[in-house]
Structures are given as structure tokens and as C-alpha cells.
Chain A
Amino acid sequence: MTLRAFEATDAPLISARGLTKRFGDFVAVDGIDLDVHRGEAFGFLGPNGAGKSSTMRMIGCVSPPSDGSLRILGLDPGADGSRIRSRLGVVPQRDTLDEELTVRENILVYGRYFGLSKAVVRERAAELLEFAQLADRADSVVEPLSGGMKRRLTIARSLVNEPELLLLDEPTTGLDPQARHVLWDRLFRLKRSGVTLVLTTHYMDEAEQLCDRLVVMDGGAIVAEGSPRQLIAEHSTREVLELRFAVDDHAPYQAKVADLARRIEVLPDRLLLYVDDGDAAAAAVHDRGLTPLSVLVRRSTLEDVFLHLTGRTLID
């Protein structure tokens, strides 16, 4: 199928069936199926080592699948890697900016890798520097930039070919909260302008903020799929009651409150009670004469979904 014919269809931009990646005996990605559609913001949520980055590298056509089928933009990465990559934007987990060049040159040179003319890359570099709020640092070398600035430059650089599909591997890991919000804002703008976003994260708030749909990965497999809201509705309760007692081991308290909740999780420093009405459950705890150090009622998040599905927290 030609690219133009592909664009006329509703076929998914990314389509994987039984996609597998092995490194020797180690199975990094274990036969996953997924479809990402045009205009979506799609997320891979999971802890380190879940196989997110390996999946992203296969989608980015820099890592050949060990097994299964993979189509990107209707093309086969094995045969058409270069053509596919010409229409992707890639933001790798660790910044790979060119430290021998200036901020502006990073975008100029990167644009040339895509075969764009010098006039076009000059124009786009100016726009992208504005977009990334780096116009005043355009002629600085890369090294002294802050982590947030480098990340924004990496994103700006990845947009120089006006990609249809932007792959972001852990876009905000290691950034302070303010820098993260700036970055999220930029990603929202891209999404609104019609760019399909595919991102990995181990931050549930990031997934909730940015993703229309996501898959939860664990041990190389997809353990759940849906919108953040669907996942929470399916795999958790409306509210969570967190109880912290003045003890080192919370396990003995489990039996005392277990009947108040649909489900209970024992963490090293607290108990999580999955309930429909948090305040009612908290009142019931008090009625039993229990006196937790702290009581918190909150809404369920993707973190709870993950805990329920895998028995582990996202960030160890």
C-alpha cells in the first residue's frame, strides 16, 4: 500500500500482534498486541523493566522485533525503516543532544538528517526555539542548559520533520515539578494540533494528564488496557481510604478492618482500603476504637490500578 492510500484509511498508525523482543534468554517484551490510532495520545504505563522502552525502540525502527508482526504507518519496519523514521519524532529516555553544537544547530543539523533544505530547517528552527521557549538561548552551547531546557530542546528537535507520530520515552523523568508542567503544556499543544503521541511513563499522574488510552505493562506483557477512567473503574473502587498506624508492621491491622473494604492492600507504611465511600469507612474505623496516626480519603488513581493488577507499586 502506498503512503497516500494508507492515509486515506482509518488503519491504525501502529499495529502490533504478538510483538516480542528477546535479548538472549531474557524476554523483554512478551507477545503484546496493540493498535494506536491517528490523533490519539497513547501511553505505556509500568515500572522500570516492564518492557516499555524495548517496545518503543521497536516502534522507532531502531530495534528489530524478535517475533510477531509490527506495522508502523502501514509499513514494515524491517523493509522500510528509513521511510518510517522519516515521519517519526523520537524523544529518547536519555537526552542525546549534540553537545558539540549550539542549541539552534542541534535543530538545524537534525533537520538535515531528514533531508530537509537549509532554508526549511532555518525557518523551523526559529519556530521550534519559540515553541520550546529557548529562543534566548539559541546560540548557547547545550551543556549548561538545565534538565528541563535540555528536555524541551530534545522535543523541539524531534519535531523538526513535522512528524505524524511522536514517541516519547519517559518524557519528564528526572525533572522538577515546574519543569514537568511546562513540558506537559507543550505536549498538550502538540496533541491539539493533531500529532499522535505515544509515551511511556512510570508516573501515574503523567499518564492521567496526557493519555487518552493506555496499556499497563508488567514483566513484558500488557496486563490491562483502556482510558485512565475506564481502568480505574474496572480495576479499582471509587475511593481509597489510607490508614497509617504507629507501628512498624501494618499487617496485623489488616484483619481488624478487612470487612470494611472491597479489597485491602498492605504497604510497608500504611493500609489502603478500597471502598465506595471513604468517609463512611473512616467513621467505621473510628467506631471500632482504632486510632490511626493519619487518615486520608482520596480518589482512586492509576497507581491503585497498577497495585491491584501486579501486587506492586510503580516506583520502587
Chain B
Amino acid sequence: MGTAQRVSRMMPFPAGAGMARALVERNVRAYKHAWTTLVSGFFEPVFYLFSLGVGMGALIGDIDAGNGRMVAYASFVAPALMAAAAMNGAVMDSTFNLFFKLKYAKLYDSVLATPLGPRDVAVGEISWALIRGGLYSTVFLLVAAVAGVVESWWAVLALPAAVLIGFAFAAVGMAATTFMRSWQDFEYINLTILPMFLFSATFFPLSAYPAALQWVVQATPLYHGAAMIRALMLGDVGASLLVHVIYLLVMGMIGAVFAARRIERLLLT
């Protein structure tokens, strides 16, 4: 038991039995029947890395990663791709997949008839999104290292960093999903995720944005995720890392508590 139970007990509200692990186990079983959907998630960030980072990067050459340090474009963009992959994976799992389980499969109706409570559902589903995201991130990091775009051993910490990004987005995504009425509402998710993916100092440095927009960029969660992983992969470690970690941690905590409460209100009427 351990982690899931402890995490579950830490959450202030609402009720749970510290049994989120059982739900994670359920998801592992379900994916054994649908392993292709799991595997496909590995490829997208790797494709981006080679087309944009390595391919386009050859045309772009070296760029300023901040503080006047010049790095290969692939080394600049790879951390952002890893952060974006963590975000995308978490959002997919906590929105589309969760909506299906909530509205159509009625999974949680049967789960909540057992000792598990809404908090277990939230913790269980978010944990699962993290495990899945962690797998993808590991593979991506290995590919990036082999491709020679990782500049520092600090990059090992990019794994927990990616999991943290996943946590923040999975928790908020889950809370948002509880408000979805139909599949049409998912357009709002796409409308949020896509611009964030493109404009969070992911593909070009913050200095390239107009001064007026820089603060908008810096307010987005993916900016913090990408900047955090970039600092680690480039070995550019400093106190600013802490800001990114706190931002994402707070975002995740608020999202998780809110998601659990929403599930309680939706299903335990």
C-alpha cells in the first residue's frame, strides 16, 4: 500500500477509505486489454523531437537559452516537448477517458457502492494518469539522451518533474471534466491546450515574445513546466526551479481537492 494511501489521507476532503490503489489496479487491468492505446502515447513526442528538434533544428542552428548561453535548437526544444507530453497525457486521461467512465460506463457509480469514497476516485485516477505519464516521460528521456540533446545529469530529475506536471494537469483536468455536459464541451479543452502547447516559451525563448505578452506566457502552467524541465536538462539549476515546483504543486492540490468534491456532488446525491 503506502504512497497512494498516504497521499489519499493527506487530502482534506471529502471522504475516502485510503483505497485509491484498487482503482489504479483496475486501470492496469483494463489497459492490459487495450495495450495499443497505451503504446501509441509513446510516439507523438518522439516524432516531434525528430521533426522539429533535429530536423528544423538543423536549419535554425544554435539559439539563446537565456543568460546568453547558446544551445542547439533540439536541446532547447526537447525539454518543452517532454513537458508538453506530460501535459497532454495527463489531460487526455483526466478529460476524455474520465468523462467516458463518468457519464457512459458509470464506473464510479459501482465503485462508490464499495468502501471507496470520492477522494479515492480522485486520487486513484490522478495516480493512474501519473503512472502512465511517468512511463511516457521515461521513454522520451531515454530517446532524447540517445539523440544527444540532453546536456546534463540533472536531467534525471526531469522525470519527477514531468510527473509533477502530469499531477497539476490531471487534477485540474479532472475537475474541469466534472463540468462537461457533452463531447462538444471538450472543444474548450482543446482551445486551452493547443495555444499553451505552442506559446508557453516552448518552441522559442521567452525573449522572442513582445514585452507585453511575456507576463501572460509566464502565467501559464506549461511555461513553468517547460522552464523547469529545460533548466534540468540544460543543467541550469537555480532557485527559480522552486517557483515552478510550487506553482505546479499548488495547482495540482487545488485541482485534486476540487475534483473530489465535484465527484461527491455529482454522484453522491
Give bound CA distance, A115 to B130, whole Å.
Answer: 22
Q: Are B107 and A98 in contact (CB under 8 A)?
A: yes
B34 at the interface (CB under 8 A from A): yes
Size class of A's contact patch?
A: 20 to 34
Q: Are B117 and A113 in contact (CB under 8 A)?
A: no
Residue of A with least CB distance to B112 = A62
State the Cβ distance, B249 to closest chain A Cβ, in Å: 28
Q: Chain B residues near A114 (CB, 8 Å)?
A: 114-115
Q: Which of A79-94 contact B (CB under 8 A)?
A: 81-83, 85-86, 88, 90, 92, 94
Question: In the complex where A62-B112, A62-B113, A82-B15 touch, is A100 in contact with B34 (Cβ < 8 A)?
Answer: yes
Set A62, A99, A113: member contacting B19, Cβ < 8 A: A113
Number of interface residues of B (CB under 8 A): 27
Q: Are A62 and B114 in contact (CB under 8 A)?
A: no
Q: Are A96 and B109 in contact (CB under 8 A)?
A: yes
Instruction: Map CB proximity to B onto A144-183 as digits: 1 under 8 Å, 0 otherwise.
Output: 0000000000000000010000000000000000000000
Q: Chain B residues near A82 (CB, 8 Å)?
A: 15-17, 115-117
Give bound CA distance, A115 to B116, whole Å.
Answer: 10
Give bound CA distance, A83 to B16, whole Å.
Answer: 11
Q: Are A62 and B267 in contact (CB under 8 A)?
A: yes
Q: Are B269 and A96 in contact (CB under 8 A)?
A: no
A261 at the interface (CB under 8 A from B): no
Question: In the complex where A63-B269, A82-B15 touch, is A112 in contact with B113 (Cβ < 8 A)?
Answer: no
Set A96, A105, A108, A115: member contacting B110, Cβ < 8 A: A96
Q: Are A92 and B110 in contact (CB under 8 A)?
A: yes
Residue of A with least CB distance to B111 = A113
State the Cβ distance, B8 to closest chain A Cβ, in Å: 12
Binding site for A on B (CB under 8 A): 15-17, 19, 22-23, 25-26, 29-30, 33-34, 105-107, 109-117, 267-269
Given contacts A81-B117, A82-B15, 13 further A-B contacts (CB under 8 A): A62-B267, A63-B268, A82-B16, A82-B117, A83-B115, A92-B110, A96-B107, A98-B105, A98-B110, A100-B30, A100-B33, A110-B114, A113-B23
